[in-house]
Structure 1
Amino acid sequence: MTRAHSDIDVRPITEAELPEWLRAVHTGFLREPSVSDEEVEARSTQFEPGRYLGAFDGARCVATFRSFAQEVTAVGGELVSADAISGVTVTATHRRRGLLTRMMNRDLEAARDRGDAVATLIAAEYPIYGRYGFGAATSATEWTVEVPRAGLDPRWSGPDDGGRIDIVDAEDVRKLGPELHDRVRRTTPGVVSRDDWWWQLNTGAVRVFPKWTEPYFALYRAADGTVEGLVAYEVDDKWVNDKQPLGTASVQGLIAATPAAERALWLYLCSIDWVTQVKSGPRAPDDLLPLFLPDPRAARITTQSDWLWVRILDVIRALESRTYEGAGSLVLEVADRAGFADGRYRLEASAQGASCTPTTESAELALDVVELARLWLGDESAVRLAALGLVREERAGAARVADALLRTSRRPWCPDMF
């Protein structure tokens, strides 16, 4: 007999319940059902009371939800406090019972009370999160580079700017990576913070999953020795019968503080012996990669999708945190069924700064909080959204004014999955 919705207990878990919570996470993400003692021990070090939620049918956890503190870079480089959401699952036996809604509402209310300006997540499925006020704020593109047709002949032999590429080990990455990432994130809207746990997890110092394979790590150092780029990648060892190599270098992550560093790392990957394909991993849709190649057509788009989703919790802080290349004003009518961002706001923006205040003036552009999130980091066009009927002009030309204020010259990018 199916139990009533009210019989399902949604609450923060205790640390003692972490193994059962992880078992439900494994079930939801189609991993091996069993949870190792090593995983429990590793996850215990990150356990934060109140931010791990579970839905329990009796003693069995049937839905999971986790959040943690994060910073996301706004346009212009300000680091905005965010409620990062991860580990969201509902077991197939307990769907359509409002479990995710109960967990989400509880978490977003706590985030608002903490003072977080936004919430963030990476959506496994597109249709789920819009009903909670999240909008796709960045997208990602993956390329596969066919090295033989890239035009790198003779084969690239190293940077010509006095810099160099060094193969390094995981310990070097843990020492040098955080400072490099901090420089990169302060210049790239959409990039999220990485704590020490992230660096340990992605360099093998902490083993959560049993099938960990250490990647190769390569650094780009400028002529003065400054670390300006880092790439982690794997390479397979594939040959065809006539002894022709067909190796693929798969990038797990590449960050660079300068275009020179970025160019050097991509050309390095394309010059590795026996590598005939390079898979880029998720990049910004306007990434420079194809144009670093003599023949840009050698870089073929293989995936293009939404990536970082944002939920605006505080309209004033979100709009005042970012910079604006142009000058102008706009009165926004924001609809938010949950009530966090609902209201009418006047945005006054210029290159010198911005102010956003509640107002009773007539609205010029009306939109849902979902669409505000899509516009916030500068990736989406209000004119496009108006054409789709997703924003409404209360004053003719208001969507173009919004684009002139909000859009950015380079597209935002989030390099991380969380």
Structure 2
Amino acid sequence: MTTTENPVLPVARTCPFAPPEQYTRMRENQAVTRVSIPDGKHAWVVTRHEDARRVLNDRRFSSDRSKDGFPSLVAGGNVFRKNQEPSLISMDAPEHGAARKSVLGEFTVKRVDALRPRIQEIVDGLIDDILARDGEIDLVEMLSLPVPSLVICELLGVPYEDHDFFQENTKQLIRRDTEQEDRRNAFEQLRTYLSDLVTAKEADPGDDLLGRQIVKLRAEGTYRHAALVSMSFLLLLAGHETTANMISLGTVALLENPNQLAKIQADPGRTLPAIEEMLRYFTIVDTATSRVATEDLEVGGTTIPAGDGVIVLGYTANWDPDVFTSPEQLDFERGARHHVAFGFGPHQCLGQNLARAELQIVFDTLFRRIPTLKLAKPVDDLAFKVDASVYGLYELPVTR
């Protein structure tokens, strides 16, 4: 049972470039806070960097979203996961290790480096289209969303001509105010679409990630249709939505910090460190790293009972002043590789190498080819995704 004293999560961002004040107060007041969540239950929120890494690296905190105590920050959000084949983010050891190992080779640094020429070709083609247009354009529509969508579609073997379908359904899933029935419909439509796609590839595996998985797992005798559908669901959604939002937010950050942008333009070797700082600074998926305690466990001086949900607030962890000096400052010289924007531990983001490569190629190319790019609206007038579980921008109007 919840009490009125418990803070209520989630809390929308009111400042485009800072965590909600309530999150900051929780971190300052105590390491672990009991909160109320939309399903009427309670959970525990971990806000400090050291504790966040400890929880995410401790397998006694389960990632199994089918458990009753697993916290959802969307009312009824766990309903759709019942009786569904778990994806990587919902698995615990030992199943998680085997499933992750099966696909990990698709996202190594070496594999991503091999994809760089194609990513560059995609980015150049989209910027050609931008340069062919006069006046104001929406960078989300013309660059931020198409780049990761095209890349993940080609990698998985998903027809890009279906991008409007999966982007619209993804939008329904990540908006916190989506009606439950609409959320269910979006979920089921995507699952059906991907199940049909996997069925087609079972008959004729191509040279793409899904086709290679079918061939490999069949040879090992471990192939299961439902498991590949769940994996494709996760990779398709996470593979385009998160990177698209970081492209948009990063572009705004660079345009609002022209001195730091000038350093990157003069020395592209500074781009990757800048990306790490932007990942820390924005932490766009700030409440996705949730867990449920499998036994009574102590965190930050608080005992979390077995069966209780735990929410790791990556945003406050990445703004922990004990770890990041003056965290409110966007400092490209910081060296912020120890952030938890990609999570931490065994469930750390599978596609982080690909995301870094896409961001690096976009920023280096965009500001080299369009050095006069500027915002068409003041930052405070931009349409930020304050109502979504993945932070970003719905539109980014720019001129050149």
- The normalised TM-score by structure 1 is 0.23
More strand by share: 1
Q: Name whichever structure is richer in helix by fraction.
A: 2
Which of structures 1 and 2 has the larger relative contact order (alpha carbons within 8 angstroms, sep 6+)?
A: 2
Higher Rg: 1
